[in-house]
A and B are shown apart, each in its own frame.
Chain A
Amino acid sequence: MPIVSTRQLHRTYLQGEGEVHALDGVDLDIEPGEFVALMGASGSGKTTLLNLIGGLDRPTRGEVQVDGHALGALSSGALSRLRLDRIGFVFQAYNLIPVLSARENAEFVLLMRGVPADERRRRVDATLAAVGLEGLGDRLPSALSGGQQQRVAVARAIAGAPALVLADEPTANLDSRTGTELVEMMRRLNTEQGITFVFATHDTKVEERARRVIWMEDGKVQRDERRG
């Protein structure tokens, strides 16, 4: 059973007099454990698709299922709960809570879920180690480099052992070496922990490391390519 499944997904924005078809009939299945890159020109609908899969936005038409739940049937409270419990997010930039240390940021989702302290500590320790941030846990985001901040964001996304991590251009603000390192780290987490990743990117170095690349154009899936 796919972890993400979309059927005839449409998202239309009203723009002045006319309409923008940001998504124009997307049918997509993503299986657990996949490592998927969304590629496509600017404006092709990558962010819109990620937002719909993550339940941050509602489709104009069509349906999204995540982890067995039809998102259209969920109340906004249940949708929040689904995100908190089952979905991790990594955004382009500036997405850490500035008053929390790296460790507390990584812990945040677990705290909000009410995970007991000892289990929380175990998971956060393991996660910070997995993203290579041992020893930096006490620093505030403002005292971390962009690459380190994005590692904290990845740690926050995976610390709660989500079924799915969505990342919108996670490397766009990083230099190419740091970006590549980040993607390799996500790839490792994918193989070692079986976490499903879906990320939008323009970066060909990132794309090269994906096991499946979905090319978007004008709100449609233009090409869907699986690699060994």
Chain B
Amino acid sequence: MRSPSANPHAPTTPAVTSAGSAPLQAWLTLLGLALRNLRRNLRRTLITATAIGGGLGLVLVAVNMNEGTYKAMMDTAISAQAGHVVIQAAGYQADPDPLRLVAGARGVAETARAVYPEARVVQRSRIAGLLTSPANAVGAGLLAIEPSAERAVTDTHTKLSAGEWLADDDDRGVVLGEELARRLKVGVGDKVVLMAQGEAEVSSRLLRVRGLLRTGAVEIDAGLAVTTLACAQAFLERPDTANQISLHLPSAEGTGPMAASLAGSLARAELEVLDWEQALPEVVEFIRADRVNNAVTMGIIGIIVAIGVLNTVLMSVMERIREFGVMLALGLPPRQIAALIVLEGTLLGAGAAAAGLLLGVVLSWPLVTYGLDYSDMLGSESFETAGVVISSTLFATWDVGGMAGWTLAAWLMTILSTLWPAWTAARLSPVDAMRHV
């Protein structure tokens, strides 16, 4: 609609009553204005971006480092304590009685190998008992393994500090943690007696110390004794049995459905087949809780940074009240004033988040590649956490999802902290705003 009173010299201008949405060009103009406004107070922009980006960078390093530690814990727990999939006698998970044995263990292992040829399959038994020497008697957890098959799965044999590793058919050999041997006052070649609950009564067996182990984790070195599966079978007088047949795969990814499918192939009701998450509930729960804990801490840091950002944005709005008054008077709708401020936050947040991501990657890279050696601080090559022994050299891992999530969160947080200042500016009356000094 053209006004009849428009002066004849003036070019046609858009109809006044078309309250349609603003043209793209208007938004591009606001975008350009937002960029320049950020440049106008460059020092403040840089300080704010540094706070956001620096905070994000450190959060990303912490996330990668934590995930790396979780991965080490999980990998170790899976290889040493369970397997990606474990087959055991029904009820063993709830009550790990050494006498809950899988009968025909060799056959079960063969079936598992046939179903999953890429898996390394080992049989294990555990006996809790008393080791006695002429000098002392110490409670110990005896792990019974197939020494040659086990080599492909765990690195316990590399921790040997004296003597020799076990042979598969050595049904009287034992390898002791150094600290345990010290307490028993025995060395390589000495005899110890194992006493534990047998089928009917407490039975005993004479063992000979073949070697000593040093893992570096004191708790483990003081309690671990490794023997052969043959020895455990002989002790319990149960040939071809094991507590656990465990499958080890190249990666933990996608092993969940394998347990159910293997249970189907075995079709033996007296067995339970678990995936690693079911087999290691304490470790899984520990990691989950730790992850939540860390996320909450980082979230709180994020909120504190956001309050700082909010304060800065509010300050920058207060300084420009006259300017916004002029824009309103010229005919910018309040929502475009608000949009300008939110755009400034969006650009600032994007820049800061990108810088933070870069910082996080640059700082994480050496931690992923070379790891962080805590051994001097801890005084040992490995340490125990949540029942899992891991190396004192911790490696970060690239947690792509976590990094993306936190980067996005930092960006969103910056945008969110402009909403209130933007709303404040949008509610200005042009008259009051222009009166403002």
Contact = CB atoms under 8 A, between A and B. Distances in A.
Given A97-B323, A113-B13, A196 B7 contact: yes
A118 B36 CA distance: 24
Contacts, number: 133
Given A83-B331, A89-B330, A161 B5 contact: no
A84 B15 CA distance: 11
A194 interface: yes
Interface residues of B, number: 43
Interface string B1-34: 0011111111101111111001111100100010
B381 to A, nearest CB: 60
A82 B13 CA distance: 11
Contacts of A54: 329
Given A99-B36, A99-B37, A78 B5 contact: no
Contacts of A160: 13
Range of interface residues on chain A?
35 or more
A132 interface: no
A114 B332 CA distance: 12
Interface string A158-181: 001111000000000000000000
A165 to B, nearest CB: 12
Given A95-B326, A97-B33, A114-B25, A193 B9 contact: yes
Contact of A109 (B17, B322, B330): B330
A112 B19 contact: no
Contacts of A85: 13-16, 331
A94 B6 contact: no
Contact of A83 (B4, B19, B329): B329
Contact of A75 (B19, B40, B332): B19
B5 A81 contact: no
Contact of B327 (A76, A94, A97, A162): A97
Given A100-B33, A109-B331, A94 B22 contact: no
B333 interface: yes
Contact of A112 (B16, B18, B22, B37): B22
B430 interface: yes
Given A111-B26, A114-B23, A82 B331 contact: yes
A182 interface: no
Contact of B5 (A1, A83, A87, A195): A1
A99 B330 CA distance: 16
Nearest to B29: A111
B7 A33 contact: yes
Nearest to B6: A163
Contacts of A80: 328, 331-334
Contacts of B26: 111-114
Question: Top 3 closest A-B pairs, CB basis?
Answer: A84-B331, A114-B23, A83-B331
6 contacts: A87-B331, A99-B39, A112-B22, A114-B24, A123-B11, A156-B330
Interface of A: 1-3, 32-33, 51, 54, 56-57, 67-69, 75-78, 80-87, 89, 91, 94-95, 97-100, 108-109, 111-114, 123, 156, 160-163, 193-196
